[in-house]
Amino acid sequence: MPRVRKIAQYESVINPNQATVVKHGVAYWPPAAKDAYIIAYVDNLGKPIIGAHEKQALHLKEEIVKEKFLKPLTNLLQDYRDKDFVHGSIRPSNMFDGGSSSYDRVVLGDCLTTPSSYNQPVEFETIERGMTDPVARGLGTQADDIYSLGASVAAMVRSHDPVAGMKSEEIVKLKMQSGSFSALTGRDRFTGTILDFLRGTLHDDPEQRWGIEEILAWLDGRRLNPKKTGKKYKANRPLTFNGEQYFYTSDLAMDIDKNPGEMRKLVEDGDFENWLTRSFEKNKTPQRVVEALDLTREGSQGKGLEDRMVCNLSAAMDVDAPIRYLGRRMMGDGIGSALAEAFAQRKELVIFHDIFNLGIAMNWLRNQERSTLDISGLMSKFDSCRSFLRQDKMGFGLERCLYHINPEARCMSERFDNYYVSSPESLLMAYEDLCSRNKAPANFMDRHIVAFIMARDAKMIEPFIAEIRSDEPHRVIMGQLKSFATIQRNSQLGALPHIASAFNNMFGALYKRFHDEDLKAKIKKSIDRYVQSGDLAKIAEIFNNQDVIQKDLKAFRQAMKEYRELSKELSRLESRLIENSGFGQETGREVAAVVSSIIAGIIILGVAFIYLGKNTGF
């Protein structure tokens, strides 16, 4: 997922040392044969300072690095600080020479097309971010950017690469044991003030790491003493776990999930708590461990207990580390990106149910001490996700969690695999294209689509959600139509004739709701006209006209009443015919008498007129 919401901040920085965005947006990408979000930069970057697969050691002189790289890039970081922007991809392979072999213009490359630090090698990441799955490192801070700058400078000035050929986990452990400065400088020995810069920017405690002001002061020639490294508590005796000995809780926390069964045994036997109490009584670790164990015991004691226990213990023993659970490593603000990746790649999702439902994410947050982390904001999001998972209705579940905690996530419905749907408006446009190619679905809504619209703009769907969730086909169709009509109207989209035509094929269930055939024919005629114009709002308005609906219903009820009365009369007459063979004879006599009287009267009048005519001479 590209960092679309950060593009405006990035573009607001006017600096010749960053890649310039020409255009960005969704377009068809031929190599993948589908839509993608494309960010185009001015093609004037030149070559990378060091190729990604080259030896990460240039052995440049301090003066060149200071003048050609540090001064312009520090100014750029200062601009980023003023715009509250974090780059997240500072490394030599993403620094370019601007087309000049003498480094007259160094350009910092792309940082927008992937989640923050997604492509960043562990070598150029802080210890805690290096432990984390690349997709789940979270946004990061400027302190992380400064560390990456320091690691990049180390690669430029050293003559050997001390971590060449090492695996990511080995590099992280080396940094943890020796400190980042020693791990990244190796056997190289530096003279001059560059040593101060490296010690200051590669400090493993972000609170003690140099900031922009210290770097600017150093560039101005002031000699700054690097801040002392905080004390790292070491046990008096090691704890043997999984065949290895551990003196530091952070080292144990990193490996604790390699053998959950053995860790559980150490806890139940009391060996683990005895080791902690005797060796780390001067810090808060034993207290955090007790709370983590209590939290684990409060949950289910069945399957998965050991995995939850080592996860909670890891968070208690190393508060800077990511969530470690079932092989995944995630920062709290990186869970959203990891969840999106899992949905996109059809990975197992049960881990995310556990993270929210079992309090794993909340426990990790309670142990956090970093001032740069938005603990209250994350806690609110995690609490909402737990609430969403308690309901299995459309609009809730893990799908709603995804769009709630990850505002960058596109709609992950399988129907839109070839589209980049990032808003309710683009969702309708994707459906318009699908319908134009005769690929309209039998049902416009699925769990992802409902959750996506609710998270992005709830007023577009919330008033109709009861209908959409209904078991009655006519209500479902009407709810979907009204939701799409609201999106079309509120977003001022143009005509959507293909969506309207697809809906028209579903309207049989709605026409059945009308009883007057003449009215039904009139409605069909009006609907056909608006289908051609693609006006979903007008179509919805016709079907939702309560006056017409009530009049039709009233007329139908009156017809039903008349039919019922006629049916009763028919039944009564048929009953009397069956029960009385002389039924109707008396009435017949009465009618015959009346008719005879009338005929006799006519005859008498006729005779009278004849008689009178003869006597009077007429």
Nearest CA among 506, 491, 562 for reference residue 539: 506
pTM of the model: 0.85
In a domain, 230, yes or no: no
pLDDT tier, 231 (very low <50, low <70, confident <90, very high otherwise): low
With respect to residue 225, please indicate whether it lies within any of the assigned structural domains: no
pLDDT given at position 584: 65
User: What pLDDT, on the 0 to 100 scale, is given for residue 609?
Assistant: 76
| 106 in a structural domain | yes
pLDDT band at 552 (very low <50, low <70, confident <90, very high): low
Q: Is residue 231 part of a domain?
A: no
Lowest mean per-residue pLDDT among 38-42, 46-50, 556-560, 578-582: 578-582
Chain segment 115-148, per-residue pLDDT in tens: 999 999 999 999 999 999 999 999 999 999 999 9
Task: Judge whether residue 93 has pLDDT over 70.
Answer: yes
318 plus 397 within the same structural domain: yes
User: Between the ranges 162-171, 270-279, 369-378, where is the mean pLDDT highest?
Assistant: 162-171
- CA dist., res. 476 & res. 540, Å (int): 13
At 293, list the tokens. Answer: 């164990």
Place of tokens 């000049």: 100
Would residue 53 count as lying in a domain?
yes
Cβ–Cβ under 8 Å, residues 306 and 264: yes
Q: Map tokens 């050991």 to a residue.
A: 306
Share of the chain above pLDDT 90, in %: 71
- The pLDDT of residue 593 is 82
Terminal C-alpha separation, the chain: 114
Q: Measured between alpha carbons, how far is 606 from 37 in angstroms, rounded to an integer?
A: 103
Q: Identify the domain boundary among 405, 431, 448.
A: 405
pLDDT (0 to 100) of residue 233: 79
List the one residue out of 94, 89, 117 whose CA is nearest residue 47.
94
Please give the average per-residue pLDDT across 290-319, as a whole number. 86
Considering the domain architecture, whether residues 481 and 521 belong to the same structural domain is answered as: yes
123 and 137 in a single domain? The answer is yes
* Same domain flag for 564 and 536: no
Whether 233 is in a domain gets the answer no
| Over residues 304-317, mean pLDDT | 92
392 and 423, same structural domain? no
Confirm whether 276 is domain-assigned.
yes
The whole-angstrom separation of Cα 298 and Cα 295 is 5
Residue 575 has pLDDT above 90, yes or no: no
Are residue 316 and residue 452 in the same domain, yes or no?
A: no
Structure token pair of residue 603: 């005859």
**pLDDT given at position 516:** 72
Out of 332-336, 350-354, 612-616, pick the least confident: 612-616
Tell me what pLDDT residue 595 has. Answer: 83
Same domain, 64 and 199: yes
What's residue 373's pLDDT? Answer: 82
- Are residue 310 and residue 459 in the same domain, yes or no? no
- Domain termination site, one of 405, 437, 465: 405
Task: Identify the pLDDT of residue 333.
Answer: 94
Other Cβ atoms less than 10 A from the Cβ of 397: the count is: 20
Please say if the pLDDT value at position 229 is more than 90: no
225 pLDDT higher than 80:
no
172 and 187 housed in the same domain: yes
Asked if 447 and 510 sit in the same domain, the reply is: yes
- Structural domain total, the chain: 5
8 A C-beta contact, residue 95 and residue 17: no
Q: What is the mean pLDDT of residues 367-377?
A: 84
How far is residue 454's CA from residue 393's CA, in Å, rounded to a whole number? 13
Among the ranges given (240-254, 265-279, 413-427, 540-554), the one the predictor scored with the smallest mean pLDDT: 540-554
**How confident is residue 324, by pLDDT bands cut at 50, 70 and 90?**
very high
Q: Are residues 245 and 281 in the same domain?
A: yes
Among 342, 377, 405, residue at a domain's last position? 405
pLDDT exceeds cutoff 90 at 582: no
Lowest mean pLDDT among 129-138, 237-246, 362-371: 362-371
pLDDT at 330 over 90: yes
Range of the domain at 349: 239-405
Helix (H, G, I), strand (E, B) or coil at 210: coil
Residues 30 and 164 placed together within one structural domain of the fold: yes
Give the number of residues written for the chain.
618
Give tens-digit pLDDT for 11-32: 999 999 999 999 999 999 999 9
Torsional sign, CA 530, 532, 535, 536: positive
